[in-house]
């Protein structure tokens, strides 16, 4: 069953955003946490006003494969012959099922981030296959040293990617921009892909890989 994402954000206020993940996988975002299980997800930039639910709905991307064909209802997403033989496919498949993300998208991110090099560390300190920052790992209780393990790195990166997709209402361009530049940066630029050459090149590169790997393209 797909996790239900609930937004409880005031229409015209500036606030931090908190997240609560229930035992059944349901993810809830709120700027007004009403119980201690909520944890801080991001600090809201002071110059950005959170959009109303109506405005958020307008951001839905009708071409987003994840929204059009949720993993739980499309078994071919997890039975994709184009992914057979890909490195770390077992770990990708497990994490993708857990967080209900198309495994083809995960492979696309890995290809763009590290080209499947599990040992690579960027000049900014991003680690491994999905180039997870240590701060992102700590957000989910994952120690920096554990991010060098492929399974843990993939699980952490996919969890973050899934939360970005939820946060940006299924808009893959914004989710990928957030993965590359940080969700605060996307918010700061008014929920648009920030004008950074690296990010502007990264987003279409991942989407090209994804389009080539999606189930049904073989």
Q: Active-site positions? A: 113
CB 14 within 8 A of CB 46: yes
Mapped onto helix, strand or coil, the DSSP state of residue 37 is coil
Name the token pair of 126: 């991003």
Quote the DSSP letter at residue 14.
-
Strand partners, 27: 5, 21
168-181 per-residue burial string, b: 16 or more CB within 10 A, e: under 16? bbbbbbbbbbbbbb
C-alpha 44/C-alpha 162 separation (Å) is 19
C-alpha 21/C-alpha 37 separation (Å) is 8
CB 44 within 8 A of CB 15: yes
128-158 per-residue burial string, b: 16 or more CB within 10 A, e: under 16? bbbbbbeebbebeebeeebbebbebbbbbbb
Give Cα 174 distance to the centre of its chain: 10
């Amino acid at each position: 069953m797909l996790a239900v994402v609930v937004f409880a954000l005031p229409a015209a206020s500036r606030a931090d955003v908190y997240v609560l993940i229930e035992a059944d996988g349901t993810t809830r975002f709120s700027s007004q946490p009403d119980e201690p299980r909520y944890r801080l997800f991001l600090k809201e930039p002071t110059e950005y006003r959170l959009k109303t639910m109506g405005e958020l709905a307008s951001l839905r991307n009708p071409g987003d494969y994840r929204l059009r064909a949720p993993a739980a209802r499309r078994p071919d997403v997890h039975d994709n012959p184009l992914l057979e033989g890909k490195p770390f496919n077992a770990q990708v498949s497990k994490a993708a099922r857990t967080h209900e993300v198309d495994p083809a998208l995960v492979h696309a991110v890995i290809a763009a981030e590290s080209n499947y090099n599990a040992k690579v560390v960027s000049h900014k300190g991003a680690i491994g296959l999905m180039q997870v920052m240590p701060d992102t790992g700590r957000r989910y209780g994952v120690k920096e040293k554990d991010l060098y393990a492929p399974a843990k790195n993939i699980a952490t990166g996919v969890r973050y990617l899934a939360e970005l997709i939820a946060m940006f209402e299924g808009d893959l361009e914004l989710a990928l921009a957030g993965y590359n530049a940080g969700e605060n940066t996307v918010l700061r630029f008014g929920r648009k892909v920030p004008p950074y050459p690296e990010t502007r090149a990264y987003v279409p590169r991942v989407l090209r890989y994804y389009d080539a790997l999606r189930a049904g393209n073989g």
